[in-house]
Structure 1
């Protein structure tokens, strides 16, 4: 019965140790449109390492997924390579019938430039896969505090409302994920935390809506 709490404490401790060295690499993007409560970004092609987690809770999925990713970046790969910490860690919701409208999540770690073209191969037992992120547009809403199960649903709903009242009302893309949560800070940072809700938007609707 105490296995899950012990795992939680262990992962938090690992996160604290890793993120003490502030992340210096993040996926590259350009802001192409800005409103008072959201912005549209154009992200470049990028390679991530991903962990699929069958879990109803966003918080638990992020915890368990990052635990596997942490092992990978600490050398649990066929190359025995240590991978520098980056930001953000992104958790994407896979649509389903659960209480948060999800039955699974995908937790992603952005690979540093050194490994973008040739990621280390994860050990098979970690069940991780490289994810090629094609260049695309994303609607982004920032929020502070801790990203809990309740808060991420509310923040995603606020972004959806903002988009519905903007020129981007019908521009959300038909992807496998309804939204993603990007987290930039370690768990021991209690103030000034940065989180974001991401929703893909259709690039074909980009013309005429940008404000450079």
Structure 2
């Protein structure tokens, strides 16, 4: 089951994202860069709509595979509208704190709804364990990293982001414990599983509110919009 699922997932993801000339050719959520350092950015993301599914597992990699399997069924037409939905990036894996092994046995896997459906997404089937999430404007710290995102490195990447933030005016982002059910951090994956070199991943940490981002943007007028 595990090996077959892994192979199926690789083929499924490749079918929808492989062959694209670049990550930029696929729709992604829009944001404004509020502040940039050599190893991280502070971004103000616009309000957006996502499809999410919870997964209980001690493995980040396995949880991502299982969650994307459900999301792939949705984008292939397993929804109330029978609508096929184009692939977007990134695929998010939110790590939710818990009392399980490694303090991370709960995950939320998310798919960004294409612009065409942002205001009215195809509704998930009742028994699909998928949920439509409407995000308000979000302030996020993002740190890029390369290679494959896997169990052995995602926590290290999150710790590296926290360490970088502690040296800046944005240190308070990590001073607030996430509420029950909220992500401690999120791994954003942009690349096809068949892409070996130049893979694009990020670790995200969200501010409790977007007010700090918006105030900084209005004060500096230096934001850069990314669409």
Q: TM-score range by the shorter chain?
A: over 0.9
| 1:186 paired residue number | 192
Q: Is the 8 A contact 1:57 1:100 kept in 2?
A: no
Runs of 4+ in 1 over 4 A off after TM superposition: 208-211
Q: Following the alignment from structure 1 to structure 2, what is the Cα–Cα distance between the partners of residues 149 and 27?
A: 26
Structure 1 residue 174: Cα displacement: 4.9
Q: Which residue of 1 aligns with 2:3?
A: 5
Aligned length: 210
Deviation digits for residues 141-163 of structure 1 (CA, Å, limit 9, x no counterpart): 00000001111111000001011
For structure 1, list consecutive stretches of 5 or more residues without a partner in the other structure: none
Q: Tell me by how many angstroms 1:130 deviates.
A: 0.4
The alpha-carbon deviation at position 21 of structure 1 amounts to 4.9
Deviations 1:51-105 (A, max 9, x none): 1001111101100000000000000011110000000000001111233321210
Matches within 5 A, 1:1-212: 3-22=1-20, 24-172=26-174, 174-175=177-178, 176-202=182-208, 203-206=210-213, 207=215, 212=222
State the Cα distance separating 1:165 from its structure 2 match: 1.2
Deviations 1:111-156 (A, max 9, x none): 0011111111122232100011110100000000000111111100
TM-score in terms of structure 1 length: 0.93
1:21-41 per-residue CA deviation (whole Å, 9 max, x = no partner) reads: 535210000100011111100
2:225 paired residue number: none
SS in 1 for 2:85: coil
Q: Supply the RMSD in Å over aligned alpha carbons.
A: 1.6
Q: Structure 2: give runs of 5+ residues left out of the alignment.
A: 223-227
TM-score by length of 2: 0.88
